Each structure stands twice: as C-alpha cells, then as structure tokens.
Amino acid sequence: MTLLVLALVAAALLLGAAWGLFAPLPERLEGFLIAVAGGALIVSIMSELVDRAAPHIPYPVLALSLLAGAGAFVLLDRLVKRRMGAESGGGLLLSVTLDGIPENLALGVALIGATPLEVAALAGAIFLSNLPEAAGGAKGMHKDGYSRAAVFAIWTGTALLLSLAALIGNVTLAEVSETPLAIIRVFAAGVVAASLATEVFPKAYKEDSLATGFAIALGLVAAQGLGQLAG
C-alpha cells in the first residue's frame, strides 16, 4: 500500500507537469481547480494530522508545533523569493519542494497504523493539490525559457525527491512513540496551512477571482465526504 501511495503522489506531479507543458488549461479553470484542491487540503490537515495528534500531546505543545511549522514555511518561502524571485522558474520549483517535503513526510507518518481508507483521504487531497500546482509551475518555467524536456526532467526529479520524503517518514518513524509522531504531524499541518495561505489561495484568486470562494467550499465538501467514507 505504501508503494502504491508513493506512486500516486509522484504521478500527480508528473501528470501535472505534462498537463501544463502540453495541454495548458485556461487560467480561470486552472485557478478554480487549485482552489478546490486547497479546500480539500484544509479538511485533510485537520482530520488526518491535527485531530489524530491532539489526543497524544497537550494543547500548548500542539499550538506551538503548529505555529512553528507555519513560521518555518513563511521564513523559508520569503528567503526563496528574495534570492530567486517570486515568479522565477527556480523560485516556483523551490516553493513546491519546500511545501512538498514536510507534506509528504506527514503522508509517510500518516501511513503508520492507518486504514486504507484513511490513507486514501490524505493521499487523495495531496494528489488534488499537486496536480494543478505542477501544471501551473511547469507552464511558468516553460514561459521563463526552459525547454519542455528540461522542465519535465526537473519535475521528475522533484517527484522522486518528494516520494523519498514520504518513504523516509514511513520507514524511519515506524517505531517512534505517539508523542513525537503527534508533534511531527502538527508541525507538518502548520507548514501546509501556511503554504495554502501564501501560495495556493492567492494564485487561485488571481486567476479565477470571485469563483475562488465557491471552489474552496467545493473542495471542503469533497474532502469531508471522503473523510466520512474513510471513517
């Protein structure tokens, strides 16, 4: 099951890159889909990460861990944009990687002791998020002057790196007690929440404007339905 989930996560990036390079969507539709994916991730980070961690750590530890994850993303994301430019190909790639490593580490942790449907809920949300993000990133890098072959090779490397992060999380933390696992889950939730606020929703609003709110709600509904099926 672990290998199938990792293959699904990698496939989302590769399919998204190919989609952005060879069959780019209109910007409004792309923004709508990104907002749907972001809405789905809101539910997943709460139900699969925060709620699962809450019984195992005191609330002050939970709050500090979540804020630490958000703060770490904000600081590193700002550093990337100052050094490489917010709209540069390298900056886009690093932003996705910076978001994806803790996200996929959390996925690896979530695989520990989870039922197939619980894993499907989180993996499905990450798949929905990665697909339009990779499509937009690959399209932007091609516009920056990268060849299609170079862009696809870079995203292939990114997919392998993020899959490795999930595998490391699953293998190295399999015997760890619930307390440190809970802290890692909540830290990763903070990272993903910050990435939604600074990267995903602003991009969606820029491309699709007022429909973004409805699209986020649609993502919430879809993820909640999947979560109830898993429960």
pLDDT (tens digit per residue) in 147-191: 999 889 988 998 888 888 888 888 887 778 889 888 988 988 898
Phi, psi for residue 77 in degrees, rounded to 5 = -65, -40
Which DSSP state fits 162? H
Residue 119 has pLDDT above 60, yes or no: yes
Report whether 193 contacts 44 (CB < 8 A). no
* Contacts of residue 37, Cβ cutoff 8 Å, sequence gap at least 6: 125, 128, 129, 131, 132, 133, 200, 219
Q: What is the mean pLDDT of the chain?
A: 80
Report whether 220 contacts 43 (CB < 8 A). yes
Predicted local confidence at residue 63, as pLDDT: 97
The secondary element (H helix, E strand) that includes residue 161 is: helix 148-172
Q: What's the number of domains the chain is made of? A: 1
pLDDT band at 45 (very low <50, low <70, confident <90, very high): confident
Report whether 186 contacts 65 (CB < 8 A). yes
SS3 for 146? coil
Specify the amino acid at residue 133. Answer: E
Predicted local confidence at residue 99, as pLDDT: 64
Q: What does the alpha-carbon distance between residue 76 and residue 82 come to, in Å, rounded to a whole number?
A: 10
Q: What does the alpha-carbon distance between residue 80 and residue 153 come to, in Å, rounded to a whole number?
A: 21
pLDDT band at 18 (very low <50, low <70, confident <90, very high): very high
Q: What does the alpha-carbon distance between residue 165 and residue 96 come to, in Å, rounded to a whole number?
A: 13
Residue 93 has pLDDT above 70, yes or no: no
Residue 27 has pLDDT above 70, yes or no: yes
pLDDT band at 96 (very low <50, low <70, confident <90, very high): low
What is the percent of the chain with per-residue pLDDT over 70, rounded to a whole number? 81
Q: What does the alpha-carbon distance between residue 226 and residue 230 come to, in Å, rounded to a whole number?
A: 6
**Domain span including residue 65:** 2-230
Predicted local confidence at residue 138, as pLDDT: 84
Q: Is 211 exposed, middle or buried (0-12, 13-18, 19+ CB in 10 A)?
A: middle
